[in-house]
């Protein structure tokens, strides 16, 4: 029986060419090019065969030639103000996964809420002829639009939004996430649910409070104004809030559920409740917001939390940016759903 020729043959001194891929895969050069560039209308088995041949013989497309042919740089810029990376890194990882199959590179810049630094980063990115721009932040509040930008450059704001009506913004559904957390507390039997949240000037705080009130109303519960307290995004505030809500208050009037504005606040409430000998979740159930594993898993007990699904935001941002690079016009504010991750702090 005659063996097939090895797939590692080379015909040029610079390595395998598109001609080699096409010949070995048994397709035309045009078909091979379409398969490797995710273009044209080809059967999936053809794309898979061409891609596998290219991989096995070590063929690498000439990125510069492709860029000139397409009038694209095959790069995307990211500007973030999240110096800690708590919110940006999951989004960035999802974007990288979305762009990997398209051979699109990413340039990331950290502006740290400095407008001048942001302008410098933007000039740097535009000098690289990026095909699109992602703007993200450490909070979902509104911000001025990035600019000035060249006409037609696709931009997606993710985990932040802008006043520009022509822009596309992707943010978590904070109100819907709050409804999930409070409904869960109602379902496990809580009837006096307090809201311990962050600074009131944040839009997310306002939306989560609206969701908190709506979930109570749906359950036929009357919100106690004294059970809504706001402070800093910190564990210290969580401890102070428990002192305000529990110390000197008759047991029958104390909250039996706490819906917290973030996981740091929630972890502070857990510490303060434990110090007072109040059992969680038997006497008081606690739900946080963010589902930050550093906080939720180390809490005692492990913390139930609303997940903003940052990876889903990143994947959707990447998908829509690719559509915009391809010529589609997409605008508006899109709020993606949150989910609830139940742990011991609310398991009754």
Which CATH code of 1.10.1750.10, 1.10.260.40, 3.90.1150.10, 3.40.50.300 fits the domain covering 1-61? 1.10.260.40
Q: Over 50: is that where the pLDDT of 299 sits?
A: yes
Q: How far apart are CA 304 and CA 291, in angstroms?
A: 8
pLDDT of residue 150: 87
Instruction: Quickly tell me which residue has 């020729």 as its tokens.
Output: 5
Q: So where are the chain's domains?
A: 1-61, 69-172+310-337, 174-307+341-346
Cα–Cα distance between 20 and 12 in angstroms, integer? Answer: 9
Residue 12 has pLDDT above 90, yes or no: no
What are 186's two structure tokens? Answer: 């109602």
pTM above 0.85, yes or no: no
Does position 69 have pLDDT exceeding 60, yes or no?
no
69-172+310-337 has the same fold as 1-61: no
For the stretch 168-218, pLDDT in tens is 999 999 999 999 999 999 999 999 999 999 999 999 999 999 999 999 999
Domain spanning 69-172+310-337: CATH 3.90.1640.10: no
Closest listed residue to residue 67, CA positions, set 94, 110, 103, 35: 103
Rounded-to-integer distance, Cα 227 and Cα 245, Å: 7
Q: What is the DSSP string of 205-228?
A: HHHHHHHHHHHHHHTTPPPPGGGE
Query: Percentage of the chain surpassing pLDDT 70?
Result: 90
Architecture of domain 174-307+341-346: 3-Layer(aba) Sandwich (3.40)
Q: Is there a contact between 57 and 21 (Cβ–Cβ < 8 Å)? A: yes
Confidence of residue 249 (pLDDT cuts 50, 70, 90): very high
């Amino acid at each position: 029986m005659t063996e097939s020729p090895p797939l590692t043959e080379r015909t040029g001194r610079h390595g395998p060419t598109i001609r080699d891929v096409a010949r070995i895969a048994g397709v035309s050069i045009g078909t091979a090019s379409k398969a490797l560039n995710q273009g044209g209308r080809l059967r999936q088995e053809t794309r898979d065969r061409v891609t596998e041949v290219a991989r096995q013989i070590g063929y690498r497309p000439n990125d510069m030639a492709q860029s000139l042919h397409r009038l694209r740089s095959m790069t995307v810029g990211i500007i973030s103000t999240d110096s800690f990376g708590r919110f940006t890194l999951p989004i960035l990882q999802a974007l990288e996964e979305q762009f990997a199959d398209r051979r699109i590179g990413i340039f990331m810049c950290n502006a740290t809420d400095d407008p001048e630094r942001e302008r410098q980063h933007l000039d740097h990115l535009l000098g690289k002829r990026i095909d699109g721009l992602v703007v993200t932040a450490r909070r979902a509040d509104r911000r001025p639009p990035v600019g000035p930008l060249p006409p037609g450059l696709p931009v997606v704001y993710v985990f932040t939004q802008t006043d520009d009506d022509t822009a596309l913004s992707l943010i978590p559904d904070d109100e819907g996430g709050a409804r999930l957390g409070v409904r869960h507390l109602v379902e496990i039997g809580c009837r006096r649910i307090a809201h311990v949240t962050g600074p009131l000037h944040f839009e997310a705080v306002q939306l989560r409070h609206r969701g908190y009130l709506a979930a109570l109303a749906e359950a036929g519960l009357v919100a106690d104004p004294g059970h809504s307290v706001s402070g800093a995004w910190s564990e210290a505030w969580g401890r102070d809030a428990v002192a305000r809500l529990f110390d000197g208050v008759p047991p029958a009037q104390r909250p039996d559920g706490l819906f917290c504005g973030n996981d740091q606040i929630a972890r502070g409430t857990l510490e303060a409740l434990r110090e007072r000998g109040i059992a969680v979740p038997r006497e008081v159930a606690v739900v946080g917001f963010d589902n930050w594993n550093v906080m939720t898993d180390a809490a005692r007990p492990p913390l139930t939390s609303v997940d903003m699904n940052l990876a889903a935001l990143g994947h959707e941002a990447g998908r829509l940016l690719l559509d915009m690079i391809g010529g589609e016009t997409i605008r508006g504010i899109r709020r993606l759903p949150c989910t609830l991750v139940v742990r011991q702090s609310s398991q009754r």
